[in-house]
Amino acid sequence: MTKRYNVHSPINHDGEQYHPNTENNVIELTDKQAKPLLDESVIGLINEIDGSEVPGTIEQTKPENEAAVLHAIRRVIEGLDVTDKTKWTKANKPDANVLTELLGWSVSAAERDAATLLPKSTLDL
């Protein structure tokens, strides 16, 4: 059984990109698929009765686990529009300030660089 979730940060699932600032800002996932994204505040459960978001899932806080931090950053990077030059540095790296804005917590350049080294296969839901 799947549930509907609002997307807080860009993610890629089954080859489709979801982004909070587009029409594709709601994703359907199983509980197992949703758990790591909920833990990282990347998504928020939608109340099926009135369409509001279930309380407690909106605030984005930095995960305590370093691996979860890097995975959250990498998911956002995967969702960035490569043609939007405002999202990238002159060195063609994702802008850490943009990542900070999208995640809701401070992302350092070192964290961004470490996240880009993660194998893409580890990001699959």
> Would you say residue 97 has pLDDT above 50?
yes
Other beta carbons within 10 angstroms of residue 112's beta carbon come to 22
The predicted pLDDT at position 107 comes to: 92
Per-domain boundaries in the chain: 2-45, 66-123
On whether the CB atoms of residues 76 and 99 are closer than 8 A, the answer is yes
Note if the pTM is more than 0.95.
Answer: no
pLDDT at 88 (0 to 100): 93
pLDDT tops 70 at residue 124: no
At 7-50, the pLDDT tens digits run 988 888 888 889 888 888 899 998 888 888 887 788 888 876 66
H-run or E-run covering 123:
none
